[in-house]
Amino acid sequence: MIIRKKVEAPPLIIKEKPAEEDKVKEDALIHRIAENPKDMEAYREIGDYYLSVGNIKDAKESFKMVLRLRPRDLKAKSSLKEIEMKMRLGN
């Protein structure tokens, strides 16, 4: 008989930062993307930023954009899988 242990995803870690610092970082990344819509690293950074503040919806869209620009990007694929798992688990 095989006993399987249920494995749960670790909880999303939300970093505490001053709201003003968050807005400045987000605005800078949005500006970078506006200046160069093909800046894959800006999309990745803003996706990581959104994850860090718990904005799962925008993080997901950011990583999808990375994959539009570079379809084989393993980090973006991994981040999307993590997001989808968290969404299924309700985190």
Give per-residue pLDDT as tens, 56-81. 999 999 999 999 999 999 999 999 99
Is 18 or 82 the better-scoring residue by pLDDT?
82
pLDDT of 16 reads 52
Contacts of 33-39 with C-beta under 8 Å, sequence gap 24+, read 38/69
Asked whether the predicted pLDDT for residue 83 surpasses 90, the reply is: yes
**26-48 pLDDT tens trace:** 999 999 999 999 999 999 999 99
Q: Give the per-residue pLDDT at 86.
A: 84
Helices vs. strands in the chain: H and E counts, helices first: 4, 0
